[in-house]
Amino acid sequence: MHFVHRPFQKNDTIAAIATPAGEGAIAVIRMSGIHAFAVADTVFSGEVQQFATHTAHYGKILASDETPIDHVLLLVMKGPRSYTGEDTVEISCHGGNLIAKRVLERLYEAGARAADPGEFSFRAFLNGKIDLAQAEAVQQLIAAKNETAMRASAQQLEGALSKTVAALQKNLTDVSAILEAWVDFPEEGLEFASMEEICNTLETLLLRMRRLQATFHEGKVIHEGISLCLAGLPNVGKSSLMNALLKKDRAIVTPIAGTTRDLIEDTLRLGSLHFRLIDTAGLRETEELVEQEGIRRSRKTMQEADLTLLLLDASRTLTDEEKTLLQNISPEKTLIVWNKIDTGTMDETISTLAISAKEGIGLDTLSAAIEARIWKQGPPAKDEIAISHLRHFQALSNAIESCETVIAGLQQGISAEFVTSDMRRALSELGTIIGTNVSEDILSAIFSKFCLGK
């Protein structure tokens, strides 16, 4: 769905179903805007405009001819003490698709309009209830697939990233003020010592920004998960390993080479990580059309995967194909694993990782090796802030680049007026993370990814 958020209409009151589609115990319809209480008043059996804020009321939603549509619980929240910062009404009705829709339509009839995706959060942002980084955290919290992701999103929603960015902004602003003063009152002169001080302060700030920038990999791992590909020649035991890792009989295993033809995917949790585990067709030269296509997909998956486990068979010597394969792998994205260690020995010069998928030997060591490979700098500490949005990464990178230009300029003795623009750029780049100086397009792109009613 393409969504270009409309300019903020102060008089618009928006409404949407906030719960997922389908049958459930209850469905929640959310309405926000200056007429929210008046609209609710029109459709509800009680006098909504008289209700005290933050109170819940049992009653009926009535059609225009006064026939009851549903018995509901209606919650009123007076702005600014609400998610959006505006007057908000939440109606819990019976959780049938039709009922919720009917109640929503009734709200439209009474003057509300359909909310765009993410429009409630967009209003919360415009009304200063949350900044942009927090709005993004809301979405990530909803989408969190593991506890680490959930904890990290909650932290960002609490404002951990926003505070870090704000502190950086404050320190940069202080430096910037000194430089601007130097431009405005050059006769005051900038002492050599204070110039060195400025460079030192900037270096310290750079260090902090680089550290935050470096958490991007970890942040992505936490939130997006990792694709883990099982690859190797036919019959080395890829499907057996998939089943062993998943602890279920997911893929067909037979002694016939070429059993797996297509990609087989499942989700796997190892410790704090979650993976998209992909079993592939064994790599070999073949005339068989179906298998050829399978092998093409195997190679593509290997290339795209974050990590590949390349399986070798310890019960036999390496084939020429395997030797070529080993020469062409990208080492940082591959773990070489000897399988079938129960029937043979490994060549330690190639890899010391050995397992038996069939007997369940060495799987813990393999899991540990995978985790160690994934966390480039070790797993993040519980309270460490990790960035995970490309947008944040790019903003930080630009801010870092600008600061580096400023330092280089000052060190070369370039006059301050030429570096102040880079200082300002660094500041505005940092600002985009929390939502100052953000273009309409970016806002639109961010909020359009939200679900309806959020």
Chain residues binding ligand GTP by CB under 6 A are 234-240, 253-255, 257-260, 281-282, 339-340, 342-343, 356-359
- Residue 268 interacting partner from Mg ion, ligand GTP, none (CB closer than 5 to 8 Å by kind): none
- Residue 164 interacting partner from Mg ion, ligand GTP, none (CB closer than 5 to 8 Å by kind): none
Closest residue to ligand GTP: CB criterion:
282
Nearer to Mg ion, 127 or 259 (CB): 259
| Minimum distance from residue 227 beta carbon to ligand GTP (Å) | 18
- By the 8 A CB rule, do 281 and 291 touch? yes
Phi, psi at 232, each rounded to 5°: 150, 180
- Find the binding residues for Mg ion in span 409-438 (CB under 5 A): none
Nearer to Mg ion, 18 or 241 (CB): 241
Nearer to ligand GTP, 274 or 340 (CB): 340
| Minimum distance from residue 344 beta carbon to ligand GTP (Å) | 9
Question: What's the gap between Cα 420 and its chain centre?
Answer: 34
- Find the binding residues for Mg ion in span 226-245 (CB under 5 A): 238-239
Q: DSSP string spanning 355-404?
A: -BTTTTBSHHHHHHHHHHHH-TT-SPPTT------HHHHHHHHHHHHHHH
- Rounded Cα–Cα distance for residues 8 and 86 (Å): 13
- Rounded Cα–Cα distance for residues 113 and 428 (Å): 35
- Residue 357 interacting partner from Mg ion, ligand GTP, none (CB closer than 5 to 8 Å by kind): ligand GTP
- Find the binding residues for Mg ion in span 167-196 (CB under 5 A): none
Nearer to Mg ion, 239 or 356 (CB): 239
Nearer to ligand GTP, 213 or 235 (CB): 235
- Rounded Cα–Cα distance for residues 125 and 83 (Å): 10
- Residue 237 interacting partner from Mg ion, ligand GTP, none (CB closer than 5 to 8 Å by kind): ligand GTP
Q: Which of 146, 259, 365, 397 binds Mg ion (CB under 5 A)?
A: 259
- Where do the DSSP E strands lie in 238-306? 264-270, 273-279
Q: DSSP string spanning 152-174?
A: HHHHHHHTHHHHHHHHHHHHHHH
- By the 8 A CB rule, do 210 and 400 touch? yes
- Residue 386 vs residues 152, 161, 171, 333, 352: alpha-carbon distances, Å: 8, 8, 20, 22, 32
- Rounded Cα–Cα distance for residues 329 and 332 (Å): 9
The dihedral built from the CA positions of residue 370, 373, 376 and 379, taken in this order, carries a sign that is: positive
Question: What's the gap between Cα 385 and its chain centre?
Answer: 13
Three-class SS of residue 229? strand
Nearer to Mg ion, 137 or 230 (CB): 230
- Is 260 an interacting residue with respect to Mg ion (CB under 5 A)? yes
- Residue 138 interacting partner from ligand GTP, Mg ion, none (CB closer than 5 to 8 Å by kind): none
Nearer to ligand GTP, 30 or 238 (CB): 238
| Minimum distance from residue 360 beta carbon to ligand GTP (Å) | 9
- Residue 356 interacting partner from ligand GTP, Mg ion, none (CB closer than 5 to 8 Å by kind): ligand GTP
| Minimum distance from residue 451 beta carbon to Mg ion (Å) | 38
- By the 8 A CB rule, do 434 and 156 touch? no
- Residue 158 interacting partner from Mg ion, ligand GTP, none (CB closer than 5 to 8 Å by kind): none
Residue 284 CB partners (closer than 8 Å, separation 6+): 233, 234, 257, 258, 295, 321
> Which string of b and e fits 146-170 if b means at least 16 CB within 10 Å?
bebbbbbbebbbebbbbebbbebbe
Nearer to Mg ion, 281 or 426 (CB): 281
- Is 121 an interacting residue with respect to Mg ion (CB under 5 A)? no
| Minimum distance from residue 203 beta carbon to ligand GTP (Å) | 52
Nearer to ligand GTP, 89 or 357 (CB): 357
Binding-site ranges for Mg ion (CB under 5 A): 238-239, 259-260
